[in-house]
Amino acid sequence: MEKKIYVGNISFKATEDDIRDLFSQVGEVESVKIITDAHTGQPKGFGFIEMSSKEDATKAISALNGKIFMERTLSVAEARPQQSRDRRSFTDRKSGGFGNKGRRWR
Q: pLDDT tens string for the chain (106 positions)?
A: 579 999 999 999 999 999 999 999 999 999 999 999 999 999 999 999 999 999 999 999 999 999 999 999 999 999 988 787 776 655 555 555 555 555 565 5
In a domain, 48, yes or no: yes
| Contact (Cβ atoms closer than 8 angstroms) between residue 58 and residue 76 | no
φ, ψ of residue 82 in degrees (nearest 5):
-70, 135
| Domain hosting residue 24, numbered range | 4-78
Domain CATH for 22: 3.30.70.330
Q: What is the DSSP string of the chain?
A: --SEEEEES--TT--HHHHHHHHHTTS-EEEEEEEE-TTT--EEEEEEEEESSHHHHHHHHHHHTT-EETTEE-EEEEPPPPPP-----GGG-TT-STT-TTPPP-
In a domain, 20, yes or no: yes
Can you give the pTM of this predicted structure? 0.75
